[in-house]
């Protein structure tokens, strides 16, 4: 699988000091009766950065995708004047860009599975 050095580094930093058993999803971690999503990564997944922004006049958030980790200026330029950056859960700062991997699975339907960090 081809992954960028930045993505591999972020995984390594995330796993520093933790037990290897914490890196696996066991059936006991799933909530009974609740839906669960699984993604099987293909050889060359699409890698990108995702930033969420909200319309100034209200409504649902909109995702904005970037090839490389965006700067604040790049984000402002891309979302334009009609959107504002989404806030974090605590509403104390902007939501950080998330690094994502996406794969395309083709059978009868087109399905996108996404794994985000950040």
Summarised one tens digit per residue, pLDDT across range 77-100 is 999 999 999 998 899 999 999 888
User: Structurally, how many domains does the chain consist of?
Assistant: 1
Tell me if 100 is assigned to some domain: yes
pLDDT value at position 15?
55
Residue 7 resides in a domain: no
- Is 89 domain-assigned? yes
Asked whether residue 64 is domain-assigned, the answer is yes
- Please indicate, yes or no, if residue 113 is contained in any of the structural domains: yes
- What is the pTM (predicted TM-score) of this model? 0.58
- Does 79 fall in a domain? yes
- Measured in whole angstroms, the distance separating CA 36 from the mean position of its chain's CA atoms is 17
Note whether residue 36 is domain-resident: no
Instruction: Please say whether the beta carbons of 47 and 99 come within 8 A.
Output: yes
Q: Which residues of the chain have pLDDT under 70?
A: 1-3, 7-8, 10-29, 36-43, 103-118
pLDDT of residue 4: 73
67: Cα separation from own chain's centroid: 13
Q: Residue 72 sits in which domain range?
A: 42-118
Q: Tokens 């950080």 label which residue?
A: 96
Q: Give residue 74's pLDDT.
A: 97
| Tokens coding 12 | 């390594």
In a domain, 86, yes or no: yes
pLDDT of residue 32: 74
Token digits of residue 13: 């930093």
């Amino acid at each position: 699988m081809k992954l960028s050095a930045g993505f591999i580094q972020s995984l390594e930093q995330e796993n520093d000091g933790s037990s290897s058993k914490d890196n696996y999803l066991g059936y006991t971690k799933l909530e009974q009766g609740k839906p669960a999503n699984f993604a099987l990564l293909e050889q060359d997944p699409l890698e990108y950065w995702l930033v969420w922004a909200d319309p100034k006049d209200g409504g649902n958030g909109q995702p904005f995708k970037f090839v490389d980790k965006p700067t604040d200026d790049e984000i402002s330029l891309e979302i334009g004047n009609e959107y504002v950056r989404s806030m974090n859960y605590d509403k104390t700062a902007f939501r950080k860009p998330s690094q994502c991997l996406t794969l395309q699975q083709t059978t009868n339907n087109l399905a996108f599975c996404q794994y985000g960090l950040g």
